[in-house]
Structure 1
């Protein structure tokens, strides 16, 4: 990736993914369409109310705060160093990014991606399905930090604030919410 004129490498989209079924991994696409207030067109998790099976069973009328799932592509390099070969889309994300520390952004951060805008709602909570995908992987993405706090490394969840199209190579612009900022927690 080339550096901008000010020397800062811009955040960008590495890959985009969708799955019409509730499968664990998602298939790569040339582009995806984000629909305001709903999610990724054609994805099993698209809708104004929850689509995650366990959440539907608990209360199907809950608002869908998990319309779009983003993972920082740097995670795949970390997993490879630990002996786990994982490719974009295999952990179920809709958008894989590069050059952006998604996990440190506060709740309400708006990301302009391609022609779409998403607002961060929280962290993805990794579950047993990750071990079903690759035995032992859950310990790599759900662990305790040096401070004893649980670290969830499998990306962030968002709602779509403005419809648009997202493609690999698109830039990602960050707009922080007004202070005080609140850390992302699992949603």
Structure 2
């Protein structure tokens, strides 16, 4: 049952960020330009082939499934209750959203960000850099299925343990650009689910 006085948040873009350099955090900007098959124009992680440095070292010829990183702003509220004040871009996302449960969406979901469209490819895998950025923050973004926090980094993406059931990764979702264009704060988000059967998002 939904309470009549419960606040209804229309799915929307809260903030957009980019950075030309490979840094942990990205800078909030007034607008970002998505380029189909590439990512965010002027961002270090844009490209048809993998751009994340650890993955480039393993195999530079992999397709880039992490062109656009999205995080739900509700995670910031959860972090705040644990004593961590976060702002858009702090965790390296390109798009901060509100009013949508990104983590519950299936692989292949299309998100229309006010014109530009991205397709979800998987989950961001939290790494030890999160604790380097803010000590103790890893416990907020990585938890067991029962909701209790985990203190150790998740297994590396691509490893046998990366898809371990019972681990909840909250540090956002990854996507590729299907249709380019400008994305601005306040833009509505429209969700289109893929045809079933649906596959849950897994680390990429």
Do they fold alike, i.e. is TM over 0.5?
A: yes
For 1:156, the equivalent position in structure 2 comes to 173
For 2:79, the equivalent position in structure 1 comes to 79
1:143 deviates by 1.4
Q: Which moved more, 1:140-149 or 1:21-30?
A: 140-149
TM-align CA RMSD: 1.3
Distance 1:132 1:8 in 2: 35
Provide structure 2 residue ranges, at least 5 long, that are not aligned to the other structure. 1-6, 148-164
Q: Which moved more, 1:142-151 or 1:31-40?
A: 142-151
Contact 2:9–2:98 (8 Å) recurs in 1: no
Report whether the alignment pairs 1:101 with 2:106: no
1:104-115 correspondence runs (5 A): 104-115=104-115
Distance 2:114 2:33 in 1: 10
Report whether the alignment pairs 1:137 with 2:154: no
CA offset digits 1:111-166 (Å, max 9, x no partner): 00022000000000010110010001111111112187100000000000001110
Provide structure 1 residue ranges, at least 5 long, that are not aligned to the other structure. 1-6
Q: Secondary structure at the match of 1:171?
A: coil
Q: Secondary structure at the match of 1:43?
A: coil
How many residue pairs get aligned? The number is: 181
